[in-house]
């Protein structure tokens, strides 16, 4: 984090003579700490932390609150490290897209090497602390999820296949499994289903976004589904995945792993999701269309995931305690 | 977190006192931030150790 050009080459010490470096090409100001914070994608971390916490709370057994806090902290650090590595790799593309042009590296507020070192340090610390303080199974899953996002998704899948979101969705699906493993030390059917819920939620969630920012992706040559398979096919797939999501979301109840609180909540919430996806799936957007249904589906999909996981925790951790 | 630092797209002129002052301010900010993180890690490791040896909880 402290090894960007500005810190080591340009201004190695407080008493150095920075005037000698005036106008030197490639020398930029040290990044502000807020830029390091932005590098971790705090908005994404919120969802990751929440689903990880839900996995931890839904797991049977007991975990000391301090160790539980450490587990969630490590999940957040790991996600932040992976996000930093993602931005390190994609800084050239980010500079070309309106949505990402103001990120610290493309905006010229941070050196790329600083982002790389920050990402590696954060990722490494998160895995080691998780292993030492919690258990090595959760640390191993955390390490694999970081690798999955930073290398398999960012470097390999995203620039090469329109299925990038489908397969890459796995990266964001690990947190509840890690949270569960932190408590139990193993991985059973329910955490696998929680993984699957996020996995099958990702394509309709992201393609709803891709439908209204597709020009950005097309400009930088990233093969997002609307640009490769066409808008009509993408819309049909959004609806198709929402049906799979419905089946997966109901599976914990159908298999007797959760109670009626979750079952009813999941049915209603996913029913609304499918209805919104159907609206997106079977419409044709004309010239000048504001794409309101797509924006609504994207916005609802975020709320949806929060609510489904909240219902799961209420069902598994709250209802048995209050004896409803 | 809505406030974003001013983008710096070209090489800064360290002869300029204002740029130099900004540089020092950022170095100070980062040093304090790093110190905060290190102290937090020390406290975290201390608490984890206490919990692990079974003294607390």
pLDDT digit string, tens, across residues B1-57 = 444 555 545 667 777 888 888 888 888 888 888 899 899 999 999 999 999 988 665
For A30, the closest chain B residue by CA position comes to B26
pLDDT of B11 reads: 67
Chain A residues near residue B44 by CB distance under 8 angstroms: 70, 73, 129
pLDDT of A26 reads: 55
Residue of B1, B2, B5, B35 to mutate, testing the A interface (most A Cβ within 10 Å of its Cβ):
B5
Q: Does B54 touch chain A (CB under 8 A)?
A: no
In whole angstroms, what is the distance from residue B48 CA to residue A52 CA?
Answer: 20
Structural contact between residues A33 and B29, judged by C-beta atoms closer than 8 angstroms? yes
Do residue A102 and residue B1 have CB atoms under 8 angstroms apart?
A: no
For A21, the closest chain B residue by CA position comes to B14
Residue of A7, A16, A19, A32 to mutate, testing the B interface (most B Cβ within 10 Å of its Cβ):
A32
Within 10 Å of residue A77's Cβ, how many Cβ atoms?
Answer: 23
Q: Would you give per-residue pLDDT tens digits along chain A (324 residues)?
A: 444 444 434 433 434 444 444 444 456 677 888 889 999 999 889 999 999 999 999 999 999 999 999 999 999 999 999 999 999 999 988 888 888 889 999 998 888 999 999 999 999 999 999 999 999 999 999 999 999 999 999 999 888 888 888 888 888 999 999 999 999 999 999 999 999 999 999 999 999 988 887 777 777 778 888 888 888 999 999 999 999 999 999 999 999 999 999 999 999 999 999 999 999 999 887 777 888 999 999 999 999 999 999 999 999 988 787 765
In whole angstroms, what is the distance from residue A187 CA to residue A162 CA?
Answer: 30
Q: Does B25 touch chain A (CB under 8 A)?
A: no
pLDDT of A8 reads: 39
Q: Which candidate, A227, A238, A230, places its Cα nearest to that of A200?
A: A238
ipTM of the complex model = 0.71
pLDDT of A27 reads: 61
Structural contact between residues A71 and A102, judged by C-beta atoms closer than 8 angstroms? no
pLDDT of A3 reads: 43
For A2, the closest chain B residue by CA position comes to B30
Do residue B27 and residue A11 have CB atoms under 8 angstroms apart?
A: yes
Nearest chain A CA: its distance from B49 CA (Å): 8
Do residue A14 and residue B24 have CB atoms under 8 angstroms apart?
A: yes
pTM for the whole structure = 0.85
């Amino acid at each position: 984090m402290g090894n960007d050009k500005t810190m080591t080459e340009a201004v190695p010490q407080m008493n150095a003579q920075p005037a000698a470096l005036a106008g030197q090409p490639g020398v930029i100001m040290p990044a502000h700490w807020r830029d390091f914070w932005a590098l971790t994608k705090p908005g994404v971390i919120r969802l990751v932390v929440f689903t990880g916490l839900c996995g931890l709370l839904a797991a049977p057994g007991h975990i000391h609150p301090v160790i539980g806090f450490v587990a969630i902290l490590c999940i957040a650090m790991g996600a932040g490290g992976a996000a930093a590595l993602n931005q390190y790799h994609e800084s050239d593309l980010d500079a070309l897209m309106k949505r990402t042009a103001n990120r610290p590296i493309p905006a010229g507020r941070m050196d790329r090497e600083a982002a790389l070192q920050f990402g590696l340090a954060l990722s490494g610390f998160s895995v080691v602390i998780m292993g030492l303080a919690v258990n090595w199974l959760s640390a191993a899953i955390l390490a694999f999820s970081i690798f999955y996002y930073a290398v398999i998704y960012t470097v390999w899948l995203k620039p090469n296949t329109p299925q990038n979101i489908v397969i890459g969705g796995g990266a964001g699906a690990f947190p509840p499994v890690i949270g569960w493993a932190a408590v139990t030390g193993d991985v059973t059917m329910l955490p696998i289903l929680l993984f699957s819920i996020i996995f099958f939620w990702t394509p309709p969630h992201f393609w709803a976004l891709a439908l209204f920012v597709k020009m950005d992706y097309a400009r930088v040559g990233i093969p997002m589904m609307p640009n490769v398979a066409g808008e009509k096919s993408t819309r049909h797939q959004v609806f198709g995945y929402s049906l799979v999501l419905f089946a997966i979301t109901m599976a914990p109840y159908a298999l007797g792993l959760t109670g009626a609180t979750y079952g009813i909540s999941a049915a209603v919430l996913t029913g609304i999701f499918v209805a919104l996806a159907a609206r997106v799936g079977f419409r044709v957007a004309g010239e000048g269309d504001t794409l309101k249904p797509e924006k609504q589906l994207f916005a609802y999909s975020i709320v949806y995931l929060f609510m489904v996981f909240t219902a799961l925790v209420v069902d598994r951790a709250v209802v048995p305690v209050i004896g409803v | 977190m809505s406030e974003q630092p001013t983008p710096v797209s070209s090489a800064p002129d360290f002869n300029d006192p204002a740029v130099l002052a900004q540089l020092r301010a950022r170095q100070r900010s980062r040093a304090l931030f790093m110190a905060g993180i290190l102290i937090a890690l020390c406290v975290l490791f201390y608490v984890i150790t206490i919990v692990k040896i079974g003294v607390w909880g």
